[in-house]
Amino acid sequence: MECHLISGGYDYLLRFIARSIAHYQRVMEALIEDEIGIEKYFSYIVIKTPINKEQLPLRTLMEG
């Protein structure tokens, strides 16, 4: 769904959807086995999304 080049302790941030944890693990193992340059990865699973804004607050940005 998304791929970002980021600063800090990591190189890239990927966001994707998997059918299950088992499916996610299969995808990650396949990426590692493909030897495309992934040395290690860290996983964070979203438990809940309390805020998800779809629109930019343009009025607020323009007033400042």
Give pTM, 2 decimals.
0.59
pLDDT of residue 53: 84
Reduced to 3 states (helix: H, G, I; strand: E, B; else coil), residue 5 is strand
Q: For residue 49, is it within any domain?
A: no
* pLDDT tens digits, 19-47: 999 999 999 899 889 988 888 888 888 89
Q: For residue 29, is it within any domain?
A: yes
Q: For residue 23, is it within any domain?
A: yes
Count of the separate structural domains present in the chain: 1
For 31, the domain range is 1-42
Q: For residue 18, is it within any domain?
A: yes
Q: For residue 52, is it within any domain?
A: no
- Long-range contacts formed by 32-36: CB under 8 A, 24+ apart: none
| Cα–Cα dist 37/19, whole Å | 25
Q: Residue 64 — very low, low, confident or very high, per pLDDT cuts 50/70/90?
A: low
* pLDDT, the chain, mean: 87
Q: For residue 35, is it within any domain?
A: yes
Q: For residue 60, is it within any domain?
A: no
Q: For residue 8, is it within any domain?
A: yes
